[in-house]
Amino acid sequence: MRVFDTAAIVTGGASGLGAATALALSKAGAQVYVLDLPSAISDVSAVDGVTYVPTDVTDGSQVREAVQRASSEAPLRSVINCAGIGPSMRILGKKGGHDLDFFARVVNVNLCGTFNVMAAAAEVIAQTDPLEDGQRGVMVNTASIAAFEGQVGQAAYAASKGGVVALTLPAARDLAQYGIRVCTIAPGILETPMLATVSEEFRAGLAAGVPFPQRLGRPDEYAQLALAIIENDYLNGEVVRLDGSLRMAPR
């Protein structure tokens, strides 16, 4: 499916993987709508072809309004869910047991937020005119290799991303009758704003653990894969690891 002259939604698109994807979609001719928190959008420089819509992905009414706006001028065909958080906490640590509200917040943003956007967007995409083979659109969600090899302190994060992985196939099956494909990317260690705060020595240590290529992944490589999934009409219900064959150790 081509993205030229269509509308696309990118959540968490103010930085990192989402920003790279929004830029790639814009360059490919899509009208891109970035859904992100107001605090994140306030620091972003304008990008041609990209409209920033202050949105909390866990808020149903905000998401529905943003989806309606994104579909107002061109048919909504693509949704890329990049919004997420990655704090850590051990189930039992020096300060006591894992805080339940902390766990629930991570799951609410990473898993429920993804589902919230999917459900609202699916309702709109299902009303668009079908393309070849009856296709109407595609959704690309973001998990993590932590879904498969969560490390110490990643109980909440791994559970939330594992939920995104588990959501992929049933979502693809649910939406097949409407011509909507669903896939998920599970990134390894990519260059994100979170890693910008650590030392070069620490970054080098992370890179050394990647079999090949022995470096950190780049956001534009995530964006390239997202566009490849959108453009390949036979990719559906699949989770693709983007990790240089990295398998995470316990720590």
Q: Which two tokens stand for residue 128?
A: 């668009």
CA distance 103 to 100: 5
Phi, psi of 58 (to 5 degrees): -90, -5
Q: Which two tokens stand for residue 7?
A: 């509308």
| Each residue's pLDDT expressed in tens, for the chain with a length of 251 residues | 999 999 999 999 999 999 999 999 999 999 999 999 999 999 898 899 999 999 999 999 999 999 999 999 999 999 999 999 999 999 999 889 999 999 999 999 999 999 999 999 999 999 999 998 999 999 999 999 999 999 999 999 999 999 999 999 999 999 999 999 999 999 999 988 767 666 788 778 888 999 999 999 999 999 999 999 999 999 999 999 999 999 988 88
Q: For residue 38, is the peptide bond before it cis, meaning its omega torsion is within 30 degrees of 0?
A: no
Pick the CATH number of 7-242 from 2.60.120.10, 3.40.50.12780, 1.10.533.10, 3.40.50.720: 3.40.50.720
User: Which residues are identified as catalytic?
Assistant: 157
Q: Which two tokens stand for residue 212?
A: 């090949």
Amino acid at 172: A
Helices (H), 14-127: 16-27, 38-41, 60-70, 100-107, 113-125
Q: What is the DSSP string of 137-156?
A: EEEEEE--THHHH--TTBHH
User: CA angle at residue 27 from 187 to 169, to 5 degrees?
Assistant: 35
CA-based torsion, 94, 98, 103, 104: positive or negative: negative
Q: Which DSSP category does 28 fall into? A: T
Give pTM, 2 decimals. 0.95
Residue ranges of the domains in the chain?
A: 7-242
